[in-house]
Amino acid sequence: MKAVIMAGGKGTRLGQRTLDLPKPLVPVNGKPVLEHQIDNFARYGITEIWVVIGHLGEQIEQHLGDGSQYGVSIRYIREDRPLGTAGALHGMQETLGESFVLAYGDVVFDVNLGQMIDYHLAHHWLGTLAVHPNNHPYDSDVLKVGVDGTVQAIYPKNEKRDFDYRNCVNAGLFVLRSSLIAAIAPDAKQDLEKDVLTHLIAEGAIGAYKTTEYMKDMGTPDRFDKVQAHMEQGVVHAKNLSQKQKAIFLDRDGTINRYVGLVTNPDALELETFVIDALKRINDSSFLCIVVTNQPVVARNLCTEEEVDRIHDRMETLLGNEGAYVDDILYCPHHPDRGYPEENKAYKIACSCRKPGIGMVLEAAGRYNIDLSASYFIGDTTVDIQTGYNAQTTTILVGTGLGGSDDKYAIGPDYTAQHLLEAVDGILSGAFQPRSERKYVEHS
Ligand SMILES: [Zn+2]
């Protein structure tokens, strides 16, 4: 597999920090972004790399040379005038082989590329986009993705959104079939998203690869500082899915949003106090943040699964507007007790996902390579504590929502906290030690 890096853009928004450097050469933790990318490619055996250069391109060429110092072979596509992220690819179809990886030169990422490429090759799509939630979805290109992974719509960053949407952002890393290059006209400025992908999305030909791995553009001074700090702390590499991950599993109702009984429409969802701050702290750490919730509203026929999705659209919109996100949401739509007049029989089953069953936790653990003994479960009911215990995580009961008053299971938590922020602080400060690091683990 070969790779193309788009390094032709201008770096105007970084101001002072770029000095006179093109953005892809700006050092992060002592090394230009481009070198971090090349290292990531080389680790997965991608050693033939094309770099598209334009603005200040001669500096990039001078710095990277033929790539031999990095153990790769680098060639350049020189643009006399900017042809956009797609225009430069015209005529490259034969050269790039069946599929190739494409990255934007200002994105810092550390991704298990082998896994992403396998996923792409296992599907029929012309292109697979790496997608993830970020802390500024409101000014990012956001995608609507179906349950089978096909991208259904793209909402461009410069178009105002007056509707709820998932925090599912196009990260700027792609695996593309070279055949899509045939649609790119010669010598005309064309943008990959706007002029190529949008049409292919309408045809159902583009898929999304959802990952929790680190991918961040450093397009503004604030974002640059954050990336720099994450690189120093080792967060960037720690989130590569080839390595074991740590997660904080969160209950939803009563933990993230105010407890009001069953939530059957988006307007019933209101965030608990301190939740934004709590999630931001998790997002800033090396922990993943995964919501695991029972939603028997579906089995009771109070909601369809589509309506549950709309409630989650609202939740992610409220969080995203404030710069916070969750990495994934898993829910159980089932309920075991049959025989009620209004029920949706297809969902009235005994399943393994309904908490305190650990089906959802195991599903997430498989998807994201999570070490459960280094992970936490936070919730407001004894059902959550029992789930966390069953999954061998460390459990924290919060005082919001039911605050443990459901009394369904005779089990005590490992720790208690007033609210989500106090719980997260306890974890990140080291006060709430995980099971994996405690000598004695006792449960009542
Ligand atoms: Zn279930």
- The string of pLDDT tens digits covering residues 258-282 is 999 999 999 999 999 999 999 999 9
**Alpha carbons 51 and 102: distance in angstroms, whole number:** 10
- The string of pLDDT tens digits covering residues 211-262 is 999 999 887 888 889 999 999 999 999 999 999 999 999 999 999 999 999 9
Q: What percent of the chain has pLDDT over 70?
A: 96
HEC string for 374-415? HCEEEECCHHHHHHHHHCCCEEEEECCCCCCCCCCCCCCCCE
**With contact defined as beta carbons under 8 Å apart, do 51 and 156 qualify?**
no
- The string of pLDDT tens digits covering residues 36-54 is 999 999 999 999 999 999 8
| Ligand 1 mean position, distance from CA 348 (Å) | 9
| Ordered domains of the chain (ranges, CATH) | 2-222 (3.90.550.10), 244-437 (3.40.50.1000)
For residue 189, the model assigns a pLDDT of 78
Q: State mean pLDDT over 279-293.
A: 97
Indicate the pLDDT class of residue 12, thresholds 50, 70 and 90: low
**pLDDT over threshold 80, residue 86:** no
Higher-pLDDT residue of 85 and 298 is 298
- The string of pLDDT tens digits covering residues 372-398 is 999 999 999 999 999 999 999 999 999
For residue 440, the model assigns a pLDDT of 57
For residue 433, the model assigns a pLDDT of 95
Q: State mean pLDDT over 14-32.
A: 79
**Alpha carbons 150 and 153: distance in angstroms, whole number:** 9
**With contact defined as beta carbons under 8 Å apart, do 128 and 180 qualify?**
no
Q: Which of 4-8, 47-51, 166-170, 184-188 is least confident?
A: 184-188
Q: Which of 253, 327, 384, 414 is catalytic?
A: 253
**Alpha carbons 223 and 366: distance in angstroms, whole number:** 30
| Ligand 1 mean position, distance from CA 88 (Å) | 48
| Ligand 1 mean position, distance from CA 352 (Å) | 6
| Ligand 1 mean position, distance from CA 379 (Å) | 18
Ion ligand 1: residues, CB within 5 A, are 332, 334, 351, 353-354
Q: Is 253 a residue of the active site?
A: yes
**With contact defined as beta carbons under 8 Å apart, do 379 and 403 qualify?**
no
For residue 183, the model assigns a pLDDT of 78
HEC string for 332-367? ECCCCCCCCCCCCHHHCCCCCCCCCCCHHHHHHHHH
- The string of pLDDT tens digits covering residues 57-76 is 899 999 999 999 999 999 99
**Alpha carbons 127 and 214: distance in angstroms, whole number:** 20
Q: Which residues pair with 163 in a beta bridge?
A: none
Torsion of CA 294, 300, 302, 303, to 10 degrees: 50
**Alpha carbons 371 and 391: distance in angstroms, whole number:** 11
| Ligand 1 mean position, distance from CA 333 (Å) | 6
**pLDDT over threshold 80, residue 187:** no
Indicate the pLDDT class of residue 192, thresholds 50, 70 and 90: confident
For residue 41, the model assigns a pLDDT of 98
**pLDDT over threshold 70, residue 102:** yes
Least Cα distance to 154 among 103, 216, 106, 196 occurs for 196
| Ligand 1 mean position, distance from CA 334 (Å) | 4
* DSSP conformation class of 120: H
**Alpha carbons 94 and 189: distance in angstroms, whole number:** 21
Q: Is 251 a residue of the active site?
A: yes
Q: Which of 217, 251, 380, 414 is catalytic?
A: 251
**pLDDT over threshold 50, residue 444:** no
| Ligand 1 mean position, distance from CA 337 (Å) | 12
For residue 219, the model assigns a pLDDT of 76
Least Cα distance to 84 among 129, 52, 59, 109 occurs for 52
For residue 146, the model assigns a pLDDT of 94
Q: State mean pLDDT over 21-25.
A: 85
- The string of pLDDT tens digits covering residues 137-178 is 999 999 999 999 999 999 999 899 999 999 999 999 999 999
Dihedral pair phi/psi, residue 214, rounded to 5°? -75, 120
